[in-house]
Structure 1
Amino acid sequence: MAKYLFAVLLSMLCSMNVYSADDKGTENIAYYGFEPDIVTNYISNRKKLGFVKISVELMVKDPEHLVLIEHHDPLLRAAIVEVLGNQAEDKVKSLTGREDIRRECYETVNRLLEAETGKQLVVNLLFTKYLYD
């Protein structure tokens, strides 16, 4: 019985597809982080001014795209600030609203990069820090 089980396990191992980082077709994911963090105001329901501070990371498929993204950093930062500044307090403070804001920032960044470079360079946009008051 043990020999049979060993043979089955060995055949399963041999049939698995194992890929290393050196194989063709694998992607070299890279990240671009905006420094310093993005801080801006948002539309508050109260008389008090609301603000949000976020850290943003852009995920790209090719590390060579980082040069293009760095070149367009001021444009992308301004677009993210504009998206955040147009949000209502309820949206900024809710988890589903935060995801909607992240998605809107992602779409805006890719639209701007496509207009500037002819390609959609960003695979994903992540908020690694999200503070609000």
Structure 2
Amino acid sequence: MFKKVLLCVLPLVLLSPLNFVVAEEEATQLTSDYQYFALDPDIITNYIKPGKRLGYIRVGIDLMVKSNKAFQEVELHEPLIRDRIITVLGEQNEQQIRSVSERKAIRLRCLNEANDAIFEITGDRPIEDLLFTKYLDQ
């Protein structure tokens, strides 16, 4: 009886570590090396406002990248990315800046412009997503 139990349990015990190793390797293959690059300091710029008054907006931005190489590209071209985002924000009018529904369109346009700027130089689009971490307008 003891031999039968031992023969049934022994293969399970011996094969268990192999299952953990295989599962761990599969998990590392499925996960990517996502990182966030924070544009620091926040972007502060003016936008179009009716009349002779100036409106300003302050935006905190994090850029999501998928690899270390993409992180280095974004870090290298940060001034160009900031310039493109400031240009996009400066072209908006007061209604677009204050509208919650337009905020997503502005975010996507900033993402596309930042990727286009880097694409012109490197031929690669390293930014996966752009997140507004702070969005203040006045």
**Structure 2 length normalisation: TM-score?**
0.78
Which residue in the other structure is 1:32 paired with? Answer: 37
**Unaligned ranges ≥5, structure 1:** 1-17
2:77 to 72, 80, 102: 72
Q: Distance in 2 between matches of 1:112 and 1:78?
A: 10
> Secondary structure of the residue that 1:130 maps to in structure 2?
strand
Which residue in the other structure is 2:101 paired with? Answer: 96
Q: Which amino acid in 1 is paired with 2:97?
A: V
Q: RMSD in angstroms over aligned alpha carbons?
A: 1.7
> Secondary structure of the residue that 1:87 maps to in structure 2?
coil
**Unaligned ranges ≥5, structure 2:** 1-22
Q: How does 1:115-126 map to 2 (within 5 A)?
A: 115-126=120-131
**Structure 1 length normalisation: TM-score?**
0.81
Q: How does 1:3-82 map to 2 (within 5 A)?
A: 23-82=28-87
More helix by share: 2
Percent identity, please.
36
Larger Rg: 2
Which residue in the other structure is 1:114 paired with? Answer: 119
Deviation sequence 1:20-48 (CA, Å, 0-9, x none): 89521321100111110000000012432
Count of residues in Structure 1 that have an aligned counterpart in Structure 2 = 116
Q: Which amino acid in 1 is paired with 2:92?
A: Q
Which residue in the other structure is 1:86 paired with? Answer: 91
Deviation sequence 1:70-91 (CA, Å, 0-9, x none): 1101111011000000001000
Deviation sequence 1:80-115 (CA, Å, 0-9, x none): 000000001000000111111101000101111111
